[in-house]
């Protein structure tokens, strides 16, 4: 009898365990379906463009542009500059972001903003491999007017620290083969050389363009008011 009772207890244990697993799987399935049918709300996503209430003036910096000239604080004068940090060997984020930047530019121009007031800059944080002429060909594939620049690690760090855009070269996996960890955001600098806002993924070009246009118009209005 004792052996029979033990076998019954063991059988009951496995039945309860199986039932628990079954309920868990069903519940998990319903949760997955619920998530699929109820994606994150718009309020859960970051804004297309976060404009700063108080803009931050940038300190002097010096890089080399794709024409082997100097790209410095003066290069940002009189234009709204969209700065993105990456590297040519980047397999996904960089080409995707540059493509999105080309669409942002197209959408902004369609709103009547003059092309001379805009500047889109790709700054390589992989100076050991990305050279000026190669960078020029790379960025102009996405838009003939895109600008590229790079510099020594020290020169790059001088600018990235001001914007909060860290980067780091990872250890080599083979000779001259390595990844570079970098920010996926786009940094907006106003025509006075002030850090004005940040654009964080996911990037939706039409929404970014719309938010930028509001900022552009508000800045133009405030300048007219100040002059009057």
pLDDT digits (tens, 9 = 90+) for 75-113: 999 999 999 999 999 999 999 999 999 999 999 999 999
Interval 23-39 mean pLDDT? 37
DSSP label of 174: B
Helix, strand, or coil (residue 25): helix
The pLDDT, as a whole number, for residue 35 is 40
Q: Is residue 124 within 8 Å of residue 86, measured between CB atoms?
A: yes
DSSP E strands: which ranges in the chain? Answer: 50-57, 62-65, 70-72, 80-86, 118-124, 147-150, 167-169, 180-182, 186-189, 194-199
Residue 226 has pLDDT above 60, yes or no: no
The pLDDT, as a whole number, for residue 10 is 40
Instruction: Tell me the Ramachandran region of residue 48: left when phi exceeds 0, alpha when psi lies from -120 to 50, beta otherwise.
Output: alpha
Residue 1 has pLDDT above 50, yes or no: no
Helix, strand, or coil (residue 119): strand
pLDDT digits (tens, 9 = 90+) for 189-200: 999 999 999 999
Q: What is the pTM of this model?
A: 0.79
Question: What is the chain's mean pLDDT, rounded?
Answer: 84
């Amino acid at each position: 009898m004792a052996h029979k009772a033990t076998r019954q207890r063991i059988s009951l244990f496995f039945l309860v365990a199986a039932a628990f697993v079954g309920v868990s799987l069903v519940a998990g399935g319903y949760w997955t379906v619920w998530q699929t049918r109820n994606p994150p709300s718009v309020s859960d996503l970051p804004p297309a463009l976060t404009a700063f209430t108080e803009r931050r003036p940038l300190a002097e910096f010096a890089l080399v542009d794709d024409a082997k000239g100097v790209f410095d604080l003066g290069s940002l004068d009189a234009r709204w500059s969209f700065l993105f940090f990456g590297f040519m060997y980047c397999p996904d984020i960089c080409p995707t972001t540059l493509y999105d930047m080309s669409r942002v530019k197209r959408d902004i121009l369609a709103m009547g903003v003059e092309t001379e007031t805009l500047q889109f800059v790709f700054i390589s944080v992989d100076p050991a491999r990305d050279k000026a002429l190669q960078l020029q060909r790379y960025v102009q594939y996405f838009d003939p007017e895109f600008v590229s620049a790079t510099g020594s690690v020290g020169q790059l760090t001088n600018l990235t620290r001001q914007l909060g855009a860290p980067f780091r070269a990872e250890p080599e996996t083979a000779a001259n083969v390595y990844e570079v960890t970098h920010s996926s955001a786009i940094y907006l600098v106003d025509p006075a050389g002030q850090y004005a806002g940040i654009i964080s993924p996911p990037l939706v070009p039409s929404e970014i363009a719309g938010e930028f246009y509001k900022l552009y118009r508000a800045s133009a209005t405030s300048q007219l008011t100040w002059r009057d």
